[in-house]
Amino acid sequence: MMELATSASPEEEKNTIRDITGSSEAQVKEGDNFYLITQRWWQGWLEYVNQTPVEGEHGSVSLSAVKKPSSIENSDLIYGESSVDSTSEIELHDTLVEGKDYILLPEAVWNQLYAWYGGGPTLARKVIDTGQTHTELAVEVYPLRLQLHLMPRLDRAAIRISKKETIRELHRKACEIFELESEKVRIWDYDSHQKHALDEMEKTLDHANIQMDHDILVEVCDINTNGSLIAAQENGDAPYGVLAPMESPKSSISTAGGVSVSKGTSRNGNSVLLQSQHMSSVRDAVRTYGSSGISTRSSSGLTGLLNLGNTCFMNSAIQCLVHTPEFTRYFLEDYYQEINRQNPLGMVGELALAFGDLLRKLWLPGRTPVAPRPFKAKLARFAPQFTGYSQHDSQELLAFLLDGLHEDLNRVKHKPYIKSRDADGRPDEEVADEYWANHIARNDSIIVDVCQGQYKSTLVCPMCNKVSVTFDPFMYLSLPLQPTTTRSMTVTVFTCDASALPTACTVSIPKHGRCRDLIQALSEACSLNHNEKLLLAEIRGHVIHRFIEDPLVSISSIKDEAHLAAYKIPKLENNVKYLQLRHRQEVRESSNGQSIPVWKPCGTPLVSPISCEDVVTRANIQSMVHRMLAPMLRTSSSYTSAPPHNVPSSTGASKDSKTSDLKCEPPVTRNSTASQKLPLRLVDENNECIDLTVGEEKVVRLSLSSSSTVLVFIDWSQKLLKSYDTHYLENLPEATKCGPITKKARTEPLSLYTCLESFLREEPLVPEDMWYCPQCKERRQASKKLDLWRLPEVLVIHLKRFSYSRSIKHKLETLVNFPIHDFDLTKYVANKNNNRRQLYELYALTNHYGGMGSGHYTAHIKVLDENRWYNFDDSHISTINEEEVKSAAAYVLFYRRVKDTSPV
Contact 303, 369 (CB under 8 A): yes
Contact 721, 751 (CB under 8 A): no
φ/ψ of residue 635, rounded to 5: -65, -50
Contact 855, 310 (CB under 8 A): no
User: CA 262, 266, 271, 275 torsion: positive or negative?
Assistant: negative
- Candidates 549, 460, 508, 486; CA nearest to 805 is 549
φ/ψ of residue 902, rounded to 5: -75, 135
Rg, the chain, Cα only:
34
E strand map for 561-688: 563-570, 576-591, 594-611, 680-683
Contact 690, 679 (CB under 8 A): no
Distance CA 711, CA 624 (A): 13
Q: What angle do CA 24, 25, 30 make, to 5 degrees?
A: 95
Residue 479 burial by CB count (10 A; 0-12/13-18/19+): exposed, middle or buried?
buried
φ/ψ of residue 216, rounded to 5: -120, 120
Of 171, 214, 312, 451, catalytic: 312
464 is a catalytic site residue: no
- Candidates 244, 303, 248, 313; CA nearest to 276 is 244
Contact 865, 296 (CB under 8 A): yes
Contact 407, 341 (CB under 8 A): no
φ/ψ of residue 804, rounded to 5: -120, 150
Distance CA 92, CA 255 (A): 8
Q: Fill in the amino acid letter for 296.
A: T
- Candidates 869, 871, 898, 863; CA nearest to 294 is 863
* CA–CA distances in Å: residue 683 to residues 277, 452, 567, 712: 77, 63, 21, 6
Distance CA 582, CA 588 (A): 20
Distance CA 693, CA 714 (A): 11
Contact 180, 220 (CB under 8 A): yes
φ/ψ of residue 554, rounded to 5: -70, 140
In the three-class reduction of DSSP (H, G, I as helix; E, B as strand; rest coil), residue 317 is classed as helix
Helix (H) or strand (E) holding 3: helix 2-6
* CA–CA distances in Å: residue 268 to residues 265, 271, 272, 275, 628: 8, 9, 10, 15, 81
214 is a catalytic site residue: no
Contact 891, 394 (CB under 8 A): yes
What residues act catalytically? 312, 856
